[in-house]
């Protein structure tokens, strides 16, 4: 079924197809449209939409619904996502699958409602307390707003861990073709859930482990799950990386600008390529190391002062020089602006 659709709405269409039947949220620009679409579509398939008292309430309702085995989600932006950090840490600790959409806005604090990518640290590194990780996917098109949301639900269930859809107001506001295959989602059995039945009465959803050895064992179990995810779930996309001398690295909306830069740069005879992480966690380190092996320079571009660049540098461990270019506050670099950054890199290499 092909249609013209807005990014923020595509998230919910994907979620409904993925079997999500519970959305709890609190409005915040530029994520309110996601909630609006949820309020419109989710009750139509027999699900529940509820506007909570606050983001703290919302994430805890998602915790509850996920505990009962439902596919549940919420959506917010910076300030709201920050308020959810306690809940996210609890969900990870209790091994609950659920999806949180972060339509990133300018920060810190109130900042503004224009797009940024400044929530990389607080989602990928983990903004809540304790040793845990969140699965993070970063769509770059309206189609992916739907498909990566569906993937997020699958990954969340596969690893019993919260997943984040990290996007921004640009992709949220875009209208593009969206092709959906209305096949009912295959929902996994959840024998660990508390379903309100006699058999599941013994199940306990908790993140408390008072004895040090018990908590250590629990954390090691989480660690081994995360290691498995790192091996199996890293996703990326690349463009003309095979023979690139300068490799551009960027995700989400930025990757679209970088794609143009690669195309235009190649026309100018510059051997430039693109590496785009689709999953931010697990970070596609192996593929990036491979792609960057033959490069002479890497340029990371973000709508931040430099967050993902740390993971690129950690991955490349000094083997290739890594430069950074960032814009913030809602400003997005133009193709030409990128090429202006790229040209001197080639010059320096001669």
Which tokens in the block code for residue 247?
Answer: 């490799």
d(CA 107, CA 307): 14
Residue of the chain from 3, 45, 177, 214 that contacts a second copy (CB under 8 A): 214
Nearer Cβ to a second copy (8/94): 94
DSSP state of 304: S
Quick one: which H or E segment has residue 238?
strand 236-239
Where in 270-329 is the site for a second copy (CB under 8 A)? 304-305, 307, 310, 313-314, 317-319, 327-329
167 is an interface residue for a second copy by CB under 8 A:
no
- Which of positions 71-100 make contact with a second copy (CB under 8 A)? 77-83, 85-86, 88-94
- What is the C-alpha to C-alpha distance for residues 49 and 24, in angstroms, rounded to an integer? 6
Tell the residue number behind the tokens 């814009």, with chain if given. Answer: 327
Q: Examine residue 172 and tell whether it contacts a second copy (CB under 8 A).
A: no
Tokens of 79: 């300030």
Establish if 27 lies at the interface with a second copy (CB under 8 A).
Answer: no
Give the span between the Cα atoms of 231 and 201, in whole angstroms.
Answer: 35
End-to-end CA distance of the chain: 51
Q: In whole angstroms, how close is the CB of 265 to a second copy at the nearest point?
A: 25
The distance of closest approach from Cβ of residue 269 to a second copy in the complex, given in angstroms and rounded to an integer, is: 31
Contact letters for a second copy, residues 118-147 (x by CB under 8 A): xx-xx--xxxxxxxx---------------
Contact yes or no for 300/342 (Cβ under 8 A): no
Name the minimum Å distance from CB 169 to a second copy. Answer: 11
**Nearer residue to a second copy within complex by CB, 177 or 228:** 228
- Regarding 219 and contact with a second copy (CB under 8 A), the answer is yes
Q: Give the span between the Cα atoms of 223 and 95, in whole angstroms.
A: 12
Residue 195 binds a second copy (CB under 8 A):
no
**The only residue of 108, 182, 184, 269 in contact with a second copy, by rule CB under 8 A:** 108
Cβ proximity to a second copy, 226 vs 346, nearer residue: 226
Q: Token pair for residue 310?
A: 């740390």
Of 108-116, 231-239, 265-273, 278-286, the segment contacting a second copy by CB under 8 A is: 108-116
Residues of span 39-68 touching a second copy by CB under 8 A:
39-40, 46, 48, 50-54, 56-57, 60-61, 64
- Answer yes or no whether residue 28 interacts with a second copy by CB under 8 A: no
With 0-12 / 13-18 / 19 or more C-beta atoms within 10 angstroms meaning exposed / middle / buried, residue 2 is exposed
Select 52 or 187, whichever has its Cβ closest to a second copy. Answer: 52
Q: In what order do the strands lie in the sheet with 236-239?
A: 236-239, 272-277, 246-249, 297-302, 322-326
């Amino acid at each position: 079924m092909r249609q013209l659709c807005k990014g923020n709405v595509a998230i919910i269409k994907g979620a409904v197809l993925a079997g999500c039947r519970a959305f709890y949220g609190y409005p915040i620009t530029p994520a309110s449209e996601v909630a609006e679409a949820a309020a419109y579509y989710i009750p139509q398939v027999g699900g529940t939409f509820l506007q909570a008292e606050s983001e703290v309430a919302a994430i805890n309702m998602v915790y509850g619904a996920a505990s009962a085995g439902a596919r549940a989600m919420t959506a917010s932006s910076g300030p709201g996502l920050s308020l959810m950090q306690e809940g996210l840490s609890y969900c990870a600790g209790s091994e609950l699958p659920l999806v949180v959409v972060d339509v990133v806005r300018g920060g810190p604090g109130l900042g503004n409602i224009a797009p940024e990518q400044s929530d990389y640290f607080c989602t990928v590194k983990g903004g809540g307390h304790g040793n845990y990780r969140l699965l993070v996917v970063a769509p770059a098109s309206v189609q992916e707003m739907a498909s990566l949301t569906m993937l997020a639900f699958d990954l969340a269930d596969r690893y019993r861990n919260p997943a984040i859809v990290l996007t921004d107001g640009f992709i949220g506001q875009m209208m593009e073709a969206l092709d959906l295959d209305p096949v009912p989602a295959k929902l996994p059995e959840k024998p660990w859930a508390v379903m309100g039945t006699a058999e599941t009465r013994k199940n306990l959803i908790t993140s408390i482990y008072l004895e040090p050895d018990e908590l250590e064992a629990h954390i090691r179990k989480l660690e081994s799950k995360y290691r498995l995810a790192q091996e199996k779930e890293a996703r990326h996309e690349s463009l003309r990386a095979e023979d690139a001398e300068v490799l551009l690295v960027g995700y989400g909306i930025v990757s679209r600008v970088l794609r143009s830069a690669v195309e235009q740069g190649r026309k100018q005879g510059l051997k430039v390529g693109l590496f785009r992480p689709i999953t931010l966690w697990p970070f596609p380190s192996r593929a990036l190391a491979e792609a960057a092996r033959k490069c002479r320079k890497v340029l990371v571009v973000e709508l931040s002062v430099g967050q993902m660049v740390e993971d690129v540098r950690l991955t490349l461990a000094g083997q290739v020089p890594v430069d950074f270019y960032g814009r913030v506050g809602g400003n997005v670099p133009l193709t030409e602006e990128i090429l202006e950054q790229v040209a001197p890199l080639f010059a320096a290499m001669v």
